[in-house]
Amino acid sequence: METTVTSQSPEETMELGRRIGARLRGGEIFAICGPLGSGKTHLTKGIAAGAGATDRASVTSPTFVLVNQYAGRFDLYHLDAYRLDSVAQFEALGFDDLCYPESVVLIEWADRIETALAGLDYVRIDLAHGPERTRTLHFRNLPAYLAIT
């Protein structure tokens, strides 16, 4: 399904993520796109928290770490493609090995490497700035069991 949700605050964006995270079944891949400061990391932290991730500190600063892994209900991988120069580099990180039925993969700046996702079933989320602290979150290919509205 496809849906658009509006968030009025960083806390609300995290809460949206928590609700998604709590419903995960494993095997999901999220391509999280949107400009600088649109809330990709807040959403990711919420999803991780909702999934029961124990090591939340590891998702705080993905800019300097290409892959953050942490345990919880699933093996959860948080990737940031911002500093990647090519799809080949992304694939060289072992992206394919991260995707399996008991894992959840969250990719910030996924639009930079989207060709690497061809053929995979993934949820695409586009965040955009609205007035003041408003952010819109546009979800595509969201499975019904993850519906948040």
Ligand X SMILES: Nc1ncnc2c1ncn2[C@@H]1O[C@H](COP(=O)(O)OP(=O)(O)OP(=O)(O)O)[C@@H](O)[C@H]1O
Contact flag: residue 40 with Mg ion (CB under 5 A): yes
Contact with ligand X (CB under 6 A) among 40, 78, 112, 124: 40
40 vs 135, beta carbon nearer Mg ion: 40
136 near ligand X, judged by CB under 6 A: no
Indicate which single residue of 18, 20, 29, 41 sits in contact with ligand X (rule: CB under 6 A): 41
Whether 18 contacts 45, CB under 8 Å:
no
- Tokens for 97? 């090995």
Tell me how far CA of residue 12 lies from CA of 41, 53, 117, in angstroms.
13, 19, 28
Neighbours of 62 (CB within 10 A): 22
Is residue 135 close enough to count as binding Mg ion by CB under 5 A?
A: no
Question: How far separated are the first and last CA of the chain, in Å rounded?
Answer: 12
Candidate list 20, 29, 38, 112; residue touching ligand X; CB under 6 A: 38
For ligand X, the binding residues (CB under 6 A) are 7-10, 12-13, 34, 36-42, 108, 133, 135
